[in-house]
Amino acid sequence: MCAGALLLARVDRVVYGADDPRKGAFRSVYDVLASPAGNHHPEITPGCEAETAGRLLQRFFQQLRTQPA
């Protein structure tokens, strides 16, 4: 969904920290932004502070799972 929004908004550059190896749409399961079917191809800079970003995401989702419903 985020990748589609980035394409529709014609964002010139995407900088992100952590890949999602299970469901990611950038360089992981899919590569939506690099698809030849698309008519817009932003510059992609992956891995910015990758370790820190990965830890933040893990902590966020871990806390989300432990909160009462």
d(CA 46, CA 54): 12
pLDDT band at 21 (very low <50, low <70, confident <90, very high): confident
Residue 50: partners with Cβ closer than 8 Å, 6 or more residues away? 17, 18, 19
Whether this model's pTM surpasses 0.85: no
Q: Which fold has domain 2-66?
A: Cytidine Deaminase; domain 2 (3.40.140)
pLDDT digits (tens, 9 = 90+) for 36-65: 888 899 999 999 999 999 999 999 999 999
Domain ranges of the chain: 2-66
